[in-house]
Structure 1
Amino acid sequence: MQQKVLSTIEEIKIYSDPYRIQILNMFNKQGRPSTVKEIADKLGEVPAKVHYHVKKLEKIGLLTLVSTREINGIIAKYYEPFQGEIHLRHEEEDHSPLKQVFRSETLKLLNEMYEQSRQMFMKQAERSDNMFGQISDMTLYASREEVEQLYRDITKMCEPYTKRNEQKGDQEVFQLFSTLSQHVDEPSKPKKSKTPPQQQKE
C-alpha cells in the first residue's frame, strides 16, 4: 500500500481543516474519479468554494487530477483521492516551538477525524430503520512489532474493498474507522493529608 508522509506544519494545517476532511470523505465515497461540481452538489455547496479547498488538497498530494473531459464546451477535471496510509512526522527537536505547533495541529486533525466518524455512525444509528453498525473495544497484549504487523494485516485485508471503482449489484457504502493505541497510565495523584492544616507539624 502506498504511503504519504505529511511532515510540515503547512501540510498538517491543510489536512486538518474540517471542511477539507469532508471533501476527501466525499471523494472516497464516490468510489471513482469525480469533478469539483459533483462533490459540490453532494455537499450542497457552490463549486467555487469546493474548488479552493480541492486545490489545497491537490498541493499536498491528497487529491490528484487524473483526467479531463470536454462537456458542452467546458473542460471537466476529474480528481482521485489518495488511497493509502497517511503518516504525520516532524523532525524538529523535541522541545522546539515548531514541534509544539506540529503537535497541536496533529491533535486537532485527530479530533476532527474522530468527530466526523462519530457523527456518521450516530446518524446511521438514529435515522436508519435497518441499522447496521459494528463496534468493538478490545485490549490486546502484544509487542510493538506484533501490533504494527497486526495493523498492516488489517489494512491489507481491507484493500480489495477500497479499490473498487464503483458500486455493483447489492454493494453498499460502508465507513471503517479504526484506532490502535497504547495504554498510557494516568499519573497518580498525591494523597491528601487527613490532618487539619492547623495541626500539621512544621
Structure 2
Amino acid sequence: MKIMNFFHKSDHPATIKEIADRMGEVPAKVYYHARKLESIGLLELVETKQINGITAKFYKAYDGTVNISRDEADDESIKEIFRSESQKLASNMFDAAKEKYLASSEAGRKRTGTLSNSDVYLTKEEAEEFLKLAIEFAQTHSRRTRSEQAEYHLFLSLSAVSEDGLKSK
C-alpha cells in the first residue's frame, strides 16, 4: 500500500529508486514489491531511458478501482488465504488512517479532521452509487491544481451490516 501511495502521489512517472528514496527504504526491497505490483497490473512501465549507461525504468500507478471477490475461488484453502489477507489489508488501512489522524491532532492544528460514524439504509444500487461518487470525487482531487489547496487524508469504509445489504433489490 505504501508503495502504491507514493507512486500515486508522484506528479510524474517515477523510478523505483526515486520512490525508495522518498520512502526511506532500500531500493532492492521496493523493487521486489514493485515487480509484484507490476505483475498484477497495479504498476505500469511507461518509459525507459538510458542515463549514464544505466537503463532507468519509469512507472506509474494504476489509476482506477480494484474490486476483488472471494466468491470466485472454489478452493476452501484459497478462500481462507483471501480472508486472512483481506483482514490484514483492512487492518493496515485502518491503522494508517488512524495514525494520520492522530499525527494531525498532535501537530497542533486548530482543526485536526472530521470523524463520522453512521449506519445508513441504502439499496445495493444506492450503495454502489455512493461509492462511485466518493471515488470519482477523490480521483478528481488527487492532485494539487491550485496553490491554495491543502492535502487532506480521506479514508472511507462502507460495509453491509446485514445480509439484506448484500442482495440486489
Q: Normalising by structure 2, what TM-score? A: 0.82
Question: Alignment partner for residue 73 of structure 2, among 74, 78, 92?
Answer: 92
Secondary structure of the residue aligned to 1:173 is: coil
Alpha-carbon shift at residue 172 of structure 1 (Å): 3.3
Percent identity over the alignment is 37
**2:164 is aligned with 1:179:** no
Partner of residue 133, structure 2 = 153
Provide the aligned C-alpha RMSD in A. 2.3
Secondary structure of the residue aligned to 2:151 is: coil
Alpha-carbon shift at residue 167 of structure 1 (Å): 5.5
Deviations 1:39-76 (A, max 9, x none): 11111122122111111111111111111233333222
Change (3 A) 1:38 1:173: farther
Question: Alignment partner for residue 59 of structure 2, among 68, 76, 79?
Answer: 79
Change (3 A) 1:65 1:174: farther
| Structure 1 segments (4+ residues) deviating >4 Å | none
Partner of residue 37, structure 1 = 17
Structure exhibiting the larger radius of gyration computed from Cα positions: 1
Partner of residue 126, structure 1 = 106
Cα pair 2:44 2:60 within 8 Å, conserved: yes
Q: Normalising by structure 1, what TM-score? A: 0.70
| Mapped partners of 1:161, 1:108: distance in 2 | 28
Which protein has greater RCO, CA pairs closer than 8 Å, 6+ apart?
Answer: 1
Map 1:184-195 → 2, pairs under 5 A: 184=162
**2:34 is aligned with 1:51:** no
Judge which range, 78-87 or 128-137, deviates more: 128-137
Q: Which runs of 5+ in 2 are unaligned?
A: 164-169
AA aligned to 1:85 is T
AA aligned to 2:136 is K
Question: Alignment partner for residue 111 of structure 1, among 80, 84, 91?
Answer: 91
Q: Which runs of 5+ in 1 are unaligned?
A: 1-20, 186-202
Partner of residue 16, structure 1 = none
AA aligned to 1:178 is L
Deviations 1:123-142 (A, max 9, x none): 22212545442322222122
Cα pair 2:101 2:112 within 8 Å, conserved: no
| Mapped partners of 1:43, 1:29: distance in 2 | 12
Partner of residue 7, structure 2 = 27
| Mapped partners of 1:31, 1:132: distance in 2 | 26
Partner of residue 142, structure 1 = 122
Cα pair 1:68 1:78 within 8 Å, conserved: yes
Secondary structure of the residue aligned to 1:66 is: strand
| Mapped partners of 2:51, 2:65: distance in 1 | 34
